[in-house]
C-alpha cells in the first residue's frame, strides 16, 4: 500500500541493524545506509485545474485526487510562461524567463543557457539513473536535452490515425490554434500516452531490480489539442450536460487592453453546441490522463517503493475553456492560463493529505526536489525550497508569483512563435497586476478578494493608485532583465 509509517523523518528512514556480540559489555552496532529517494516527475500538457480535487465535481480524476490525499495539493501554483516550450525551459532550469531568454516556441532550450545544468541532468550527475518517457522538454532536436537522460524516449503520435477515429469535429476556433477533437476506438494501452505510462513502468521496474535510484520524467501529451481519447472517456461527458462559463459584464472588452486578448476571434463565433463539445472533449482528456497517472501510481504501490519515492504531478500551464467572454487555449495573463495543478508527495511529510494556499511557482520544483532527495544544494536557482510547506501548509513562501507571455505586432500572427514585446504579470495574495510592453500597451489590475474571475479592470481607479504603484515596483524588481548564468 502507498502509506508512510508514522513518525518517519522528512526524507527517508534510517533503519539500524543491530548485531549484539557477547564481548563483555561491548556491542557492535552496524547501520545500513538508506537508499537515496527516487523521483517520479509527471508532467501533463495544457491541463488546467478542472479536476475533482481542485473543486470541479464534473470532472472524474480519482487517481490524481488520491495522490492529493497522500501528498500536498498546491492551490495557488503558477507557471512562469503560458506556453509549452518556455514554461518547460524555465521549470527545468529553475530560472525565470528573464534568464533563460526563452519566450516562444521557436527559441531552443539552450539558446542562452550554455552548459547550465538542468534539473534531470543534476540528478544524473549525482549518480541517479534518469529517463525521459514522453514530453518533458519541448519536442524535436534543439528543444530536447539529451545530456539530461540515460534513456530518452521522446514524444510521438501527436495526432491519432484516421482509422482509429470514431467521431470528431474541427470547429473554426480563435487564431491559428487547433480546436479539433476525436473519439477513438483505440484501447488505452495502444494510445501514445498509454504507451508512455506502461513503458515508464517497465523502466521503473528495471531500475528497482538494479537497486538504482531513479529520476523518471513521464510526460503526457493530453489534454493538449487535438482532444483525442478513447470512447469510454467521452461517454462520461455528454455535451448536453456540460455547463458553459458565466457571461461577462456588458462593456467588458472595452475596458480590456487589446494585448490582453490571446487569440483573434474567429469570423463566426463558436456555437453553444460547439463550445459544449469542446469542453466535454477536454474533460474527457483530463480523465484519460488521470487513468494513465493511475498506471504509474499502481506500479509504485506494487513495487513497494512508496516509502522511498518522491512524486510530483503538474501541468506546464493552464488553459481557457470559453471563459472571459470567449477565451480559449493559453497565451494569456489571466488566472485560468497562469495557474496550474501541482501536487507533491514526499515520504514522511507531516502535512500529507492537506492543501495549501501559499503562493508557489514551477521554478520552485528544482530546489525542492534537490532538498527532498538529500542532494547538495544547487546554487543560483531562482526558485525556493518548499519542503517546509510539506510539513506545514501555513508556512510562508513568497509575496508574489510572476508570469510572462510574448506578443507579436501582427494580431493575426501566432504569438507563440513571434515576439515583439512582452506582457508581465504579478500575482499576490489579493491582487493581479499586469503590464503590456512595460505599460505602453495597457495595464490591468484585478482584486481577487472581490473579483476572483478577473472581470473588472481597476487600473484606472484613482483610489487604488498606491496599490498600483506598489505592484508596479514589485513587478519591476523581480522581472528586470538580468544576466544569464
- Domains of the chain by start residue, with CATH: 38-421 (3.40.720.10)
State CA 56 to chain mean position distance.
Answer: 18
DSSP letter for 239, please.
G
Rounded to whole angstroms, how far apart are CA atoms 429 and 307? Answer: 34
Q: How far is CA 441 from CA 19, 81, 201, 481, in A?
A: 73, 19, 49, 19
Following CA atoms 158, 164, 167, 168 in sequence, which dihedral angle do they give, to the nearest 10 degrees? Answer: 10
| Rg over CA atoms, the chain | 23
SS3 for 309? strand
SS3 for 18? strand
pLDDT at 411: 66
Q: Which helix (H) or strand (E) holds 297?
A: helix 272-303
Report the b/e string of 134-169 with b at 16+ CB within 10 A.
bbbbbbeeebbbeebbbebbbbeeeebeeeebeebe
Which residues of the chain have a pLDDT value below 70?
Answer: 1-34, 176, 411-413, 479-485
Residue 194 in grid coordinates: 498509454
pLDDT at 419: 92
Omega cis (within 30) before 435? no
Rounded to whole angstroms, how far apart are CA atoms 380 and 361? Answer: 16
CA atoms lying within 13 Å on the CB side of residue 126:
21
Predicted confidence (pLDDT) per residue in 387-398, tens digit: 999 999 999 999
Rounded to whole angstroms, how far apart are CA atoms 333 and 363? Answer: 18
Residue written as cell 500516452? 193
Measured at the alpha carbon of residue 405, what is the angle toward residues 399 and 409, in degrees to the nearest 5?
145
Residue 134 in grid coordinates: 514522453
pLDDT at 29: 41
pLDDT at 10: 33
pLDDT at 479: 55
pLDDT at 7: 33
Predicted confidence (pLDDT) per residue in 427-461, tens digit: 999 999 999 999 999 999 999 999 999 999 999 99
pLDDT at 485: 54
Residue 205 in grid coordinates: 521496474
Contact 393, 86 (CB under 8 A): no
Amino acid at each position: 500500500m502507498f502509506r508512510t509509517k508514522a513518525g518517519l523523518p522528512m526524507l527517508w528512514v534510517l533503519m539500524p541493524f543491530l548485531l549484539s556480540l557477547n564481548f563483555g559489555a561491548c556491542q557492535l552496532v552496524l547501520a545500513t545506509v538508506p537508499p537515496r529517494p527516487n523521483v517520479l516527475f509527471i508532467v501533463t500538457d495544457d491541463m488546467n485545474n478542472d479536476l475533482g480535487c481542485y473543486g470541479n465535481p464534473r470532472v472524474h480524476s480519482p487517481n490524481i485526487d488520491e495522490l492529493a490525499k497522500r501528498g500536498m495539493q498546491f492551490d495557488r501554483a503558477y507557471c512562469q510562461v503560458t506556453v509549452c516550450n518556455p514554461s518547460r525551459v524555465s521549470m527545468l532550469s529553475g530560472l525565470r524567463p528573464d534568464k533563460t531568454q526563452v519566450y516562444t516556441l521557436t527559441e531552443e532550450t539552450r539558446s542562452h543557457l550554455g552548459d547550465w545544468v538542468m534539473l534531470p541532468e543534476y540528478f544524473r550527475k549525482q549518480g541517479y539513473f534518469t529517463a525521459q518517457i514522453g514530453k518533458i522538454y519541448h519536442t524535436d532536436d534543439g528543444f530536447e536535452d539529451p545530456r539530461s537522460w540515460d534513456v530518452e524516449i521522446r514524444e510521438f503520435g501527436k495526432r491519432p490515425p484516421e482509422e482509429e477515429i470514431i467521431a470528431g469535429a474541427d470547429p473554426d476556433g480563435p487564431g491559428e490554434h487547433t480546436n479539433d477533437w476525436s473519439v477513438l476506438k483505440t484501447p488505452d494501452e495502444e494510445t501514445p500516452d498509454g504507451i508512455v505510462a506502461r513503458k515508464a513502468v517497465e523502466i521503473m521496474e528495471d531500475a528497482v531490480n538494479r537497486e538504482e535510484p531513479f529520476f523518471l520524467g513521464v510526460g503526457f501529451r493530453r489534454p493538449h489539442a487535438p482532444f483525442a481519447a478513447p470512447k469510454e472517456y467521452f461517454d462520461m461527458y455528454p455535451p448536453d450536460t456540460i455547463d458553459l462559463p458565466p457571461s461577462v459584464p456588458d462593456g467588458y472588452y472595452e475596458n480590456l487592453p487589446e494585448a490582453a486578448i490571446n487569440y483573434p476571434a474567429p469570423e463566426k463565433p463558436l456555437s453553444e453546441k460547439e463550445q459544449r463539445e469542446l469542453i466535454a472533449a477536454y474533460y474527457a482528456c483530463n480523465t484519460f490522463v488521470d487513468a494513465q497517472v493511475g498506471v504509474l501510481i499502481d506500479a509504485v504501490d506494487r513495487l513497494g517503493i512508496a516509502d522511498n519515492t518522491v512524486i510530483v504531478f503538474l501541468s506546464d500551464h493552464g488553459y481557457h475553456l470559453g471563459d472571459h467572454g470567449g477565451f480559449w487555449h493559453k497565451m494569456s495573463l489571466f488566472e485560468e492560463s497562469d495557474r496550474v495543478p501541482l501536487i507533491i508527495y514526499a515520504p514522511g511529510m507531516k502535512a500529507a493529505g492537506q492543501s495549501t494556499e501559499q503562493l508557489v511557482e514551477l521554478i520552485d520544483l528544482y530546489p525542492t526536489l534537490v532538498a527532498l532527495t538529500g542532494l547538495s544544494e544547487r546554487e543560483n536557482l531562482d526558485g525556493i525550497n518548499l519542503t517546509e510547506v510539506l510539513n506545514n501548509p501555513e508556512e510562508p513562501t513568497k509575496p508574489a508569483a510572476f508570469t510572462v507571455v510574448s506578443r507579436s505586432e501582427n494580431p493575426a500572427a501566432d504569438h507563440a512563435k513571434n515576439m515583439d514585446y512582452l506582457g508581465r504579470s504579478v500575482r499576490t495574495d489579493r491582487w493581479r497586476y499586469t503590464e503590456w510592453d512595460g505599460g505602453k500597451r495597457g495595464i490591468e489590475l484585478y482584486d481577487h478578494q472581490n473579483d476572483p474571475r478577473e472581470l473588472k479592470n481597476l487600473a484606472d481607479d484613482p483610489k487604488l493608485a498606491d496599490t498600483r504603484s506598489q505592484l508596479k515596483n514589485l513587478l519591476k524588481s523581480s522581472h528586470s532583465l538580468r544576466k544569464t548564468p
